Structure 1
């Protein structure tokens, strides 16, 4: 069942607030992490939810993945989703890692285009 506009807006506000807290924690703990964003189609929520964690460089992203910091990022994501009162989703599917360096090289720094293409 599709969510109403009001319900979608309420969920999005709550999700943004809880992800902002996760982002601030990660900025302090994870070298090279810069920001995060989410994409979602509320007609297919929460299955369509994707949270993209963005690093400054490929090297920082790869280091985080190689040293297990992705586990911490998934923990922060799970905490944020719980705080936003969102039903559990498979974190291995909904959490993605990216970097500014790759966006610049492949999409000219256009994150909107990059995120739209990665959602398809």
Structure 2
């Protein structure tokens, strides 16, 4: 099962170069997701938000765990976030994307989405 969800692109018209970058992002983030699922219990999927007019500085990720308890366990590991950040950077660089800074990571859970947004990730992600 694929664990990467199509990201939110903040532009009205994508140029050819934007489409190429988007494909590279999807390749890299799919690999990040697959590795994160094996390294971090409860990690479920991730997606990205980007404005290609301000790329790569506008890139951010939403990382989703199944439950709040699993997210708390991840946060309790003082090296987990840094490890995930390193994995993101490594995979982006492997496809030719060189971020100027650490890509911001936002964490969420399926449990919170279900309780607060009746399971509607599109509505939930629009607010971020």
Bigger mean CA offset, 75-84 vs 17-26? 75-84
Q: CA–CA distance in 1 between the matches of 2:95 and 2:109?
A: 26
Q: TM-score, normalised by structure 1?
A: 0.87
Provide the C-alpha distance between the structure 2 equivalents of 1:74 and 1:97, rounded to a whole number of angstroms: 12
Contact 1:55 1:61 in 2 (8 A): yes
Q: How much has 1:43 moved relative to structure 2?
A: 2.1
Quote the RMSD (CA, aligned, Å): 1.9
* Corresponding position: 1:8 with 2:15: no
> Residues 25-49 of structure 1: CA distance to partner in whole angstroms, max 9, x if unpaired?
1111110001111111212222221
How big is the shift at 1:4? Answer: 6.0
Between the aligned partners of 2:56 and 2:75, the Cα distance in structure 1 is 25
Name which of 29, 37, 50 aligns with 2:60: 50
The TM-score with structure 2 as length reference comes to 0.82
SS of aligned partner of 1:87: coil
Task: Report which of the two has the higher share of helix.
Answer: 1
How many residues of Structure 1 are paired with residues of Structure 2 in the alignment?
A: 116
Deviates more, 1:68-77 or 1:24-33: 68-77
Provide runs of 4+ in structure 1 moved above 4 Å.
Answer: none
Question: Structure 2 stretches of 5 or more lacking a match?
Answer: 1-10
Distance 1:84 1:113 in 2: 30
